[in-house]
Amino acid sequence: MSQVSSTRASVIIPTYNRCHSLERALQSVKELQFPRDQFEVVVVDNNSSDNTPGVSDKFRATGVPVKYVKETRLSFTVARHTGAQAASGPVLCYIDDDVMVSPGWLTAIVAAFEKDEGVAIVGGPILPIFESEPPEWIQKYHPMSGWLSLLDLGTSQHEVQYAYGPNFSVRNSVLQLLGGFPADTIGVESEGRHGVVDKIYVGTGDVGLCGKVVKAGYKVMYVPEALVHHVIPPVRLTKRWWRSRLTGEGCCTALTLQYERKDRPLRLLSRSLLSLLKAAKRALGFALSALLKTGKERHEFYISYHLSRAKVEFALARNPDLAQRLWKIALTGVQPDETGRLSRLLS
């Protein structure tokens, strides 16, 4: 007779070369107020060269139920799916390696799933811990919190349309039924480097999965007790990083639209020209804001966004099937030396 697993949830942490952040995340998991024999932790090492295996071993030795899985194909989506394949729990709780969970986090998540079979995704607050004082322009422009993957939708549990990746739990059976996560990114972001490194923003990822879930008739729930803190390093408070992030978002928008619509070259050229016009409008807004000495940053970053869209849309006009190709690669992964070559296809 086979033994029935007592695992009620699997905490999945994809990671790449951030063993110090991973150690902090695992320490918070160690302090969970949840029976250790009823959950597991799956660390998905996306081809790190640091001490990620040693950190995993360290916490396993202290009684934290850690599974270590090596995944050499660089892709956030692949790492997530590899974690799901290694997991045994009916609930998959994805967190980023730069997150610290609150003691009652897992209890609140599991309770929301077990209370209502119609719930497919649970998210919760993602509050910041800034490693350095954020500049004034970030503090003033509140919509930018979304680009930092921060979320605060109040103190009541309620149904929502989306949850964010750093604090994203999904019912395993529904994830399999809907075919997994949509494409997200190819490549990885490296600790200690400015901006993004050979990282291509391809598709809708966790937000796209939320859309699939809602369309299929399931619920996405916001649970305020499922609280995590997202550690924001100084590099993410620099204008260089923000321009890089918005450049990636522009690329993602262009590729996602083409993946869904499969437009012909002439339509792609017209979209590219429209993006250039929007960049010019933002440049004018930047100039006026600079004169008035207020709010110039949001224009500055969206110049990067629209110029990136224009460049990628022009590349797609020359090769309309490139979006489908990159989407597929994001779902299968690449080896480290291939990401630079893929980036050049979008130039």
d(CA 268, CA 310) in angstroms, rounded, equals 9
Confidence grade of residue 172 (pLDDT, cut at 50, 70, 90)? very high
- Average pLDDT over every residue of 15-44: 97
Maximal C-alpha separation, the chain = 76
Query: Whole-prediction pTM value?
Result: 0.93
186 lies in the same domain as 217: yes
Residue 318 lies in a domain: yes
- Tell whether 208 is covered by a domain: yes
pLDDT tens per residue, range 84-143: 999 999 999 999 999 999 999 999 999 999 999 999 999 999 999 999 999 888 877 666
Residue 315, H or E segment: helix 296-318
In terms of domains, do 199 and 297 share one? Answer: no
* Domains in the chain, number: 2
Spatial contact of 53 and 43, defined as CB atoms under 8 Å apart = no
Specify the range with the lowest mean pLDDT, choosing from 44-48, 136-140, 253-257, 258-262: 136-140
Task: Let me know whether 192 and 117 are in one domain.
Answer: yes
218 vs 215: CA distance, rounded Å = 7
d(CA 306, CA 170): 33
CATH code where residue 75 lies: 3.90.550.10
Q: How confident is the model at residue 339 (pLDDT cuts 50, 70, 90)?
A: low
Element at 15 (helix H, strand E): strand 9-15
Q: What is the average pLDDT across 39-46?
A: 97
In a domain, 3, yes or no: no
Amino acid symbol at 94: Y
> What residue numbers bound the domain in which 14 lies?
9-236
Q: Do 255 and 229 fall within a single domain?
A: no
